[in-house]
Amino acid sequence: MNRSVVLSETGNLSVRHQWGKFFQGLFLFSTVIGLIVLGILIVTVVDKTFTLVAVTNKVDPATLADRPLEELSEEELRQILRENLRPARLRTIERDQAPLDEMNQADLTALVTTEIVKPTTRASYPLFQSLTRRAEIEAEIRSEYPDAQIYFKAWLTWDFLQRSMSTKPDLAGVRQAVKGSLWIIFITILVAFPIGVGAAIYLEEYADHRSRINRILQTNIENLAGVPSIIYGILGLAVFVRTLALITSGAVFGVDAGSGRTILSGGLTMALLVLPILIISSQEALRAVPRSLREASYAMGATRWQTIWHHVLPYALPGILTGTILTVSRALGETAPLILVGASSLINKDPQSVFSFFTTLPFQIYNWTVRPQPEFRNIAAAAILVLLAVLLSLNATAIVLRNRLSKRI
Amino acid sequence: MPRATLDRQLHQIQDEVLTLGSMVEQALVKSVDALKRRDVTAAQQVIRGDQAVNEKRYAIENGIIAVVATQQPMAHDLRFLAAVLEVIIELERIGDYAKGIARVCQRLEGVEIPIPSRDFERMAEITVSMLHRSLSAFVKEDASLAHRIPDEDEQVDALYNSVYHGLITSMIQHPEWIDHSNLLLWVAHNLERAADRVTNICERTVFIATGELLEMDLDDYEETE
Amino acid sequence: MSEQNLSNHFAIETRNLNLFYGNFRAVKDVNLQIVPRKITAIIGPSGCGKSTVLRSFNRMNDFVPGFHMEGEILFHGKNLYAPDVDPVQVRQYIGMVFQKPNPFPKSIYENVAWGARINGYKGNMDELVEGALRAAALWDEVKDNLKKSGLSLSGGQQQRLCIARALAVKPEIILMDEPCSALDPIATLKIEDLMRELSENYTIIIVTHNMQQAARASDYTAFFTMDEDRAGVMVEYGETSQIFTNPRDKRTEDYITGRFG
């Protein structure tokens, strides 16, 4: 070849480079779209969580005490309650919630607020709107509610996490929902993890891959992973809530909840839901264990079980955990099956055991968003942020756990 | 087929062995001819030519070492190269014998002494023929031919014996020629030894072909000088 | 090789060994007699069944679906594939070192100790580990770092760790399946030297693609190739020096001189 033509362009090289650039641009575009959508979601949620509100009180708190309610002692708050509420109402409260004497400062403050001050959010304006058109909005409020207080309100507060459910958006909290979600997830992991990993070990390490029965089994597991979650809800309703009511209600253990619509039923249903995915992801993790590692173990005179226990499982564990967390995260966000299994839309009692009635965060969010009052959207948005935080912390735990296990290897 | 490089190198070595062989053949014929014609100049050429033979031998030897180092020859290839190493030594020695004969030619300059050049020529003829065919057998790896060639050494030995007796007789009859007859005896000895060297080449041919190292021992075979 | 050269007592002897993967006959009628405390190399082109034969010696092929064998593999006069033989037991007597160094993702100490422990070793573990590492010519390099991960070692060290690990189980025979194919030349030569030392106490059978390695490192060499049905057959078996200077079979010659195919 002539020296001078060695590095001159040959063939369609520039066209090939252009195609490469085109696809690179396309992939970048897809990524950007994804990021934009995620951004919109978060902005919308935040927009609704922090809003400008117009609040009117039925009773001005200043007439109740000379200091703000939060600074009063428990005894002073009890005093206010006893003075301002009718005895019948007091008895109802004590029966439904707890005796006044057992309540703490936060509960009492909340009670004073709900029962006496009765603040009502008259209007709520999303964050960005409020920032851009504040004067306009204030004028609008002044004309409609002359005595309203106007201030920025964060719906997501420490109180919001601690407060009970309520029919009034200003007073509602997610305590039961967070606890319910955690209980359900706990039961789900407790049941699904050992069964899922066990099944995966059997299918990967013991079962003859060529046998017809095992192939059918494998295909079915894969199909089950794609079954809509509502179907699992129906299954849970039929099996756990109805058929096994004696067990799921705790009747046979002497703590009868009255029906099978308990955390246990919910957790078991969720376990069923995640099981196929968990099995498949665990199988993947086991399959990723290099053959050389198994061979090394066998060649030293190890039995199959010694090989699995000492080498295969430790090696696959990070992968199994990743799969578990991902599926559990999915379960954490599930709503449909729990509606069927009977999550309660309004409970005041915290879940005490697996035989308690329950609600969960996504279910709560769903409930609030279908309410007519616009303020429920605000607390739904706040609850969404709580749910996101729980999911992120679960995933973070998983990543930390996986990295620590990987480092040992 | 793989190993084209190795094959090419082996062929080249083979060709060079043949070149060396033909150089040696010519030197032998030329030295005897120079002696017959008492041509000191021709003898001088043979002596100088031996330098080229030696150089050729070392060139081939270096080539073999390079092939062994770079190509890791095995089995037959390895045997071939080992055999060539041996064969080129034999060829170089035959060249040395030719040089020795040429030296005798120089020493006999102006000396009036009858030379049994007919017998010498005959011995050289047979030896060169044996050498030529032994190299041909070597190249073709023809073990059966290689087995037959050493038998012809007997003819050379017979000629040697007859020359030997002739020269001894001449020494007794002409004691003044003793020194020079001794030189001629040396010529006969060189020719006889050259034929023995050919036998060694035939042994190597058998080794390449069969992998067996055998000694084609003849009755009057002499151990190395 | 003449029969007299062989000891009457073989480390392993195969009789009409045929190995199958499903319906495919991977190895056909192999009669191989492994001399104890010597290094035997098995060489041959890819797919000639040499690894299959090696792996049948410690029943590693049992894990391959559809594998079955005919004939006999005798070890101390007992067929390794007899119904009453437990393959786990077989592998305690016949250890293996693999192509790619595959230390366990554990400490160097644990790598060596593990095999002994699972096999119920009750003696002084520290001594055993040191002994095995010394025998594998690795002790001096790792004695101060026994807690470090086996995977932190270089490729050659890892392979010697794998050898030490195999030795810790006290096998009689060590199978090596191309143990140096992933190593650099210096590491390879170290392993070969080590094999020579180990052959004083162990029988070593090595499968290798590297003919020079077989020539350098082994006492006996078996050459395998494929017949017209693509089944592996043993063409020639003899002392290494003979196989590499003067093979009897044309196919061996062609393979050894690199003129195969």
The answer to whether residue C201 neighbours chain B at the CB level (below 8 Å) is no
Statement: residue A12 has pLDDT above 80 = yes
Contacts of C236 (CB under 8 A, 6+ apart): C222, C223, C243, C247, C248, C249, C251, C252
Domain that holds residue C22: 6-256
Domain co-membership, A183 together with A321:
yes
Q: What confidence tens digit (pLDDT) does each residue in A127-143 have?
A: 888 888 888 888 888 88
Nearest-CA neighbor of B40 among B89, B86, B105?
A: B105
The answer to whether residue C60 neighbours chain A at the CB level (below 8 Å) is yes
Is the CB of A300 less than 8 angstroms away from the CB of C98?
no
Domain locations in chain B? 4-224
CB A300 within 8 A of CB A353: no
d(CA A126, CA A124): 7
Q: Name the residue among C212, C253, C261 with its Cβ closest to that of B75.
A: C253
Domain that holds residue A310: 175-408
Domain co-membership, A179 together with A144:
no
**Number of helical H runs and strand E runs in chain C:** 10, 11
Token code pair at residue B221: 């075979």
Domain of residue C23, CATH code? 3.40.50.300
Domain co-membership, A266 together with A360:
yes
The answer to whether residue C241 neighbours chain B at the CB level (below 8 Å) is no
Domain co-membership, A193 together with A249:
yes
- At B184 the three-state DSSP class reads helix
Domain co-membership, A217 together with A282:
yes
R_g over Cα of chain C: 18
Total count of domains within chain C: 1
Total count of domains within chain A: 2
CA distances from A38 to A32, A41, A389, B162, C55 (A): 10, 5, 15, 114, 54
In a domain, C244, yes or no: yes
Domain co-membership, A189 together with A77:
no
Is the CB of A295 less than 8 angstroms away from the CB of C60?
yes
Mutation target among C210, C239, C250, C259 for the B interface, most CBs of B within 10 A: C259
Mutation target among C96, C102, C119 for the A interface, most CBs of A within 10 A: C102
Cα A42 to chain centroid, rounded: 16
Phi-psi region at C21: left, alpha or beta (left = phi > 0; alpha = psi -120 to 50): beta
CB A187 within 8 A of CB A271: yes
In a domain, C1, yes or no: no
The answer to whether residue C161 neighbours chain A at the CB level (below 8 Å) is no
Task: Kindly give the residue spans of alpha helices, DSSP state H, lying in chain C.
Answer: 50-57, 87-93, 108-118, 125-135, 139-142, 155-167, 185-198, 211-217, 240-245, 250-256
Specify the residue for token string 């007091």.
A90
Average of per-residue pLDDT across C192-202: 93
Statement: residue A343 has pLDDT above 80 = no
Contacting residues of C for B9, CB less than 8 Å apart: none
Question: Backbone phi, then psi, for A285, in 5-degree steps?
Answer: -65, -40
Estimate the crossing angle of helix A313-333 against helix A375-408, to 10 degrees.
180
Is the CB of B211 less than 8 angstroms away from the CB of C245?
yes
Is the CB of B75 less than 8 angstroms away from the CB of C259?
no
Domain co-membership, A126 together with A183:
no
Beta-bridge partner residues of C232: C27, C226
Confidence of residue A395 (pLDDT cuts 50, 70, 90): confident
Given a contact as 3+ CB pairs under 8 Å, which chains touch A? C
Pairing of strands C39-43, C203-207: parallel
Confidence of residue A4 (pLDDT cuts 50, 70, 90): low
Nearest-CA neighbor of B118 among B184, B50, B46?
A: B184
Domain of residue A274, CATH code? 1.10.3720.10
H or E segment at A368? helix A361-369
The answer to whether residue C105 neighbours chain A at the CB level (below 8 Å) is yes
Is the CB of A311 less than 8 angstroms away from the CB of C119?
no
Q: Which ipTM score applies to this complex?
A: 0.91
Q: What confidence tens digit (pLDDT) does each residue in A226-268 have?
A: 899 899 999 999 998 888 888 888 778 877 777 888 888 999 9
- At C138 the three-state DSSP class reads coil
**A167-181, A341-355, B167-181: which has the highest mean pLDDT?**
B167-181
Provide the mean pLDDT of chain A: 86
Mutation target among C210, C243, C257, C259 for the B interface, most CBs of B within 10 A: C257
* CA quadruple B128, B129, B134, B137: dihedral, nearest 10: 140
Tell me if the pTM is above 0.90: no
Is the CB of C95 less than 8 angstroms away from the CB of A299?
yes
Task: Locate the chain A residue with the closest alpha carbon to C118.
Answer: A302
* CA quadruple A98, A100, A102, A106: dihedral, nearest 10: 100
Average of per-residue pLDDT across C116-134: 92
d(CA A45, CA A41): 6
| Nearest-CA distance A302 → chain C (Å) | 6
Residue C254: CB atoms within 10 A of its CB come to 18
At the top level of CATH, the class of B4-224 is mainly alpha
What 8-state DSSP symbol labels residue B151? Answer: G
Q: Report the share of chain A in percent with pLDDT over 90.
A: 29
Task: Render each residue's pLDDT in chain B as its tens digit; 225 residues.
Answer: 578 889 999 999 999 999 999 999 999 999 999 999 989 999 999 999 999 999 999 999 999 999 998 888 988 999 999 999 999 999 999 999 999 999 999 998 888 888 888 899 999 999 999 999 999 999 999 999 999 999 999 999 999 999 999 999 988 998 888 888 999 999 999 999 999 999 999 999 999 998 888 887 654 444 443
Buried b (16+ CB within 10 A) or exposed e, A280-289: bbbbbbbeeb
The answer to whether residue C257 neighbours chain B at the CB level (below 8 Å) is yes
* CA quadruple A370, A375, A378, A380: dihedral, nearest 10: -30
CB A325 within 8 A of CB A178: no
Residue B177's pLDDT is: 85
Residue A333's pLDDT is: 85
CB A259 within 8 A of CB A179: no
| Nearest-CA distance C79 → chain A (Å) | 18
Is the CB of B3 less than 8 angstroms away from the CB of C256?
no
- At B77 the three-state DSSP class reads helix
Is the CB of C102 less than 8 angstroms away from the CB of A292?
yes
Residue A188's pLDDT is: 92
Question: Backbone phi, then psi, for C223, in 5-degree steps?
Answer: -105, 125
In this complex, does chain B touch chain A, defined as having at least 3 beta-carbon pairs under 8 Å apart?
no
Residue A344's pLDDT is: 73
d(CA A338, CA A360): 8
Contacts of A345 (CB under 8 A, 6+ apart): A359, A363, A367
The angle subtended at Cα C149 by Cα C144 and Cα C154, nearest 5°, is 85
Residue A9: CB atoms within 10 A of its CB come to 8
- At C203 the three-state DSSP class reads strand
Average of per-residue pLDDT across A39-58: 88
Q: What confidence tens digit (pLDDT) does each residue in C220-235 have?
A: 999 999 988 899 999 9
Least confident range from A5-14, A65-74, C101-110: namely A5-14
Contacts of B152 (CB under 8 A, 6+ apart): B126, B129, B130, B195
| Nearest-CA distance C5 → chain B (Å) | 19
Contacting residues of B for C256, CB less than 8 Å apart: 74-75
| Nearest-CA distance C244 → chain B (Å) | 5
The answer to whether residue C259 neighbours chain B at the CB level (below 8 Å) is yes
Domain co-membership, A143 together with A284:
no
d(CA B41, CA A153): 125
CA distances from A369 to A107, A130, A378, A379 (A): 26, 22, 9, 9
Pairing of strands A149-154, C24-30: unpaired
Domain co-membership, A138 together with A232:
no
Is the CB of C104 less than 8 angstroms away from the CB of A297?
yes
Contacts of A121 (CB under 8 A, 6+ apart): A53, A54, A55, A153, A169, A170, A375
H or E segment at C69? strand C67-75
Buried b (16+ CB within 10 A) or exposed e, C192-223: bebbeebbeebbbbbbbebbebbbbbbbbbbb
